[in-house]
Amino acid sequence: ETGVTQSPTHLIKTRGQQVTLRCSSQSGHNTVSWYQQALGQGPQFIFQYYREEENGRGNFPPRFSGLQFPNYSSELNVNALELDDSALYLCASSPPDRGYGYTFGSGTRLTVV
């Protein structure tokens, strides 16, 4: 298994800007989820994509959006960044038969100043 790769590892953005975070999943992992982990908190579900369609969403505003591509890569886009968006963003993927055996990437640490 090649694992789940996220880029970049660290990022600093200014309030009001837009950011795109990327995730590369393992071949065959057609389910990808994105989580936000604020300091001292557990990961919080943003949304899930299955076969390039969003099929589940947590309590996040529409300025958080995503894309999933046929090559098992995906993106998380955040518009109009706010200071509270500063967090670790985690991508997790799973093959069809693994249920909740998600494989997480190491995350992207986003700092909004």
Partner 1 sequence: DQQVKQNSPSLSVQEGRISILNCDYTNSMFDYFLWYKKYPAEGPTFLISISSIKDKNEDGRFTVFLNKSAKHLSLHIVPSQPGDSAVYFCAASVAVASQGNLIFGKGTKLSVKP
What are the residues binding partner 1 (CB under 8 A)? 4, 31, 33, 35, 40-45, 48, 50, 55-56, 58, 90, 92, 100-107
Which residues are within 8 A (CB) of 25 and not within 5 positions of it... i.e. 6 or more apart?
4, 32, 72, 73, 74, 91, 93, 103
Q: Which CB atom, from 18 or from 41, has the smaller least distance to partner 1?
A: 41
Least distance (Å) between residue 105 CB and partner 1: 5
Least distance (Å) between residue 9 CB and partner 1: 9
Specify burial of residue 21 (Cβ count, 10 A radius: 0-12, 13-18, 19+): buried
Q: Which two tokens stand for residue 52?
A: 């390039």
Least distance (Å) between residue 5 CB and partner 1: 10
